[in-house]
Amino acid sequence: MSVATEMERMAMRARQASRALAAAPGAAKDAFLANLADLLNARGEEILAANGRDLDAAKAAGLDAPRLDRLTLTPAVLEAMAGACREVIALPDPVGAIEAMKPRPNGLLVGRMRVPLGVICMIYESRPNVTIDAAILCLKAGNAVILKGGSEALESNKALAGLLREALEAAGLPADAAQLVATSDRAAVAALCTLDQYIDVIIPRGGEGLIRAVVSQATMPVLKHFKGVCHAYVDAGADEGRAETVIVNAKAQRPGVCNALECLLVHVRAAPTFLPRVGAALRKAGVELRACPRALALLGSLARPAAPEDFGQEFHDLVLAVKVVDSMDDALDHIHRYGSNHTEVILTEDYGRALEFLRRADASMVGVNCSTRFNDGGELGLGAEIGISTSKLHAYGPMGLTELTSAKFVVLGQGQVRG
């Protein structure tokens, strides 16, 4: 059987399973999650053994330390995965919820009901825990899911996918609601990207190269973000102590993630006092500063000259671009040119400029006097997320359970007809 035929049959089974899952009661979906949490605890040795085979192969292939770290499962990671199942049980089921029912002049009641998207295909790299994190959210939201992980995690993902199917069947739900693509053949992704008659949406999660490859091939909608180029603008008159704390956290707390700060913009009136202060704090945290000429004049030995390509760069490291701007308009122009619609924040004590920045900065999260690191589903109260979308259709920002559903209009009448 060809890879294309195999993917089409998998997608057909997922479509069939999605109908049953869309109609499943919340209690059955929560039973699946409870079953899965128990299995993750009970089968830990089996999962870690599979992960060990992946790690051995990855080391032999010369994978670097960061990718080995992302690939590694531990008892603590397995416990966190089981905990995530229990946390999702506690979240309200969005399916069937009716929003904003309003009466019309003719007596009709018009509202919108949350419904599953249908079949979601997740394509992701490295981290085998994504197999569980993605599946539990998709399934709780009533969607079937096709999982295509990286070839380096194939043995780990196969073990985890087996638990998903076992937990589904024990809850009386179709096992085909969660299927793993168990081949490393790249033709599988190309085939999945053309199956829009069965797959409703693709969510790629990984590096920019993977995401652009999926976007270029997909015939169905893709929920994506290419990169996280996050900015913080320090306004004139900002509380410098608070701004320093926020900037250091946004850059240094976890520099390799998509919501880490990548560029600091400072108003020209704040720069003479603030830049030396925050520069010293950032250098103490191990951050390399790459500054524009005006910022460099104030930072001196704390920084080095920025190259043109440093602006708009997602460093994934303890590196920060710094620029002095003449106004908030200049800051917003810079963000418009170099931002990636991910996260933008302003540090200010001026209420009017704070509101103007919130309105004009175009990003999936815009914040006032807070770290960029808060653009995360758990931190924003979603409980969990499947990723952050920088597309404006159908979701903008972290994607939790509600974002994994759509809304259809429902109309309640008493015999009304249209004249």
Same domain, 148 and 197: yes
18: in domain: yes
Peptide bond into 394 cis (omega under 30): yes
Residue 89 near residue 30 (C-beta atoms within 8 A): yes
Provide the strand spans (E) within 12-133. 98-103, 109-116, 119-124
- Cα separation values, 354 from 239, 248, 269, 323, 370, Å: 13, 21, 17, 20, 12
Q: Residue 117: which domain range? A: 3-223
Domain end (from 205, 223, 241): 223
pLDDT in tens, the chain (419 residues): 899 999 999 999 999 999 999 999 999 999 999 999 999 999 999 999 999 999 999 999 998 887 898 899 999 999 999 999 999 999 999 999 998 899 999 999 999 999 999 999 999 987 899 999 999 999 999 999 999 999 999 999 999 999 999 999 999 999 999 999 999 898 999 999 999 999 999 999 888 889 999 999 999 999 988 889 999 999 999 999 999 999 999 999 999 899 999 999 999 999 999 999 999 999 999 999 999 999 999 999 999 999 999 999 999 999 999 999 999 999 999 999 999 999 999 999 999 999 999 999 999 999 999 999 999 998 998 887 888 999 888 899 999 999 999 999 999 999 999 98
Same domain, 209 and 63: yes
387: in domain: no
- Cα separation values, 266 from 71, 287, 331, 340, Å: 38, 17, 8, 19
Same domain, 147 and 34: yes
The CATH number given to whatever domain includes residue 286 is 3.40.309.10
Q: How far apart are CA 103 and CA 114, in angstroms?
A: 19
Provide the strand spans (E) within 230-385. 230-234, 261-267, 288-291, 303-305, 319-325, 343-347, 365-368
Same domain, 163 and 262: no
Same domain, 195 and 265: no
97: in domain: yes
Same domain, 90 and 36: yes
Same domain, 74 and 158: yes
As for how many domains the chain has, the answer is 2
Residue 260 near residue 321 (C-beta atoms within 8 A): no
The CATH number given to whatever domain includes residue 212 is 3.40.605.10
Same domain, 210 and 235: no
Domain end (from 177, 208, 223): 223
Same domain, 145 and 262: no
Q: How far apart are CA 134 and CA 157, in angstroms?
A: 12
270: in domain: yes
Domain end (from 200, 223, 246): 223
Nearest Cα residue to 7 out of 127, 173, 144, 148: 148
Residue 100: the pLDDT is 86
391: in domain: no
Spell out the alpha helix ranges (H) of 23-61: 26-42, 44-60
Same domain, 294 and 178: no
Same domain, 321 and 286: yes
Q: How far apart are CA 141 and CA 377, in angstroms?
A: 15
Computed from CA positions of residues 132, 134, 137, 138, in that sequence, does the dihedral angle turn out positive or negative? negative
Residue 91 near residue 85 (C-beta atoms within 8 A): no
402: in domain: no
Q: How far apart are CA 308 and CA 202, in angstroms?
A: 34
Residue 379: the pLDDT is 92
Q: How far apart are CA 327 and CA 117, in angstroms?
A: 43
DSSP character for 222?
Answer: B
Nearest Cα residue to 375 out of 204, 207, 231: 231
Residue 129: the pLDDT is 92
Residue 72: the pLDDT is 96
Same domain, 308 and 270: yes
388: in domain: no
- Sequence-ordered list of residues with C-beta below 8 angstroms from that of 134, at least 6 positions apart, any chain: 122, 124, 145, 147, 203, 205, 386
414: in domain: no
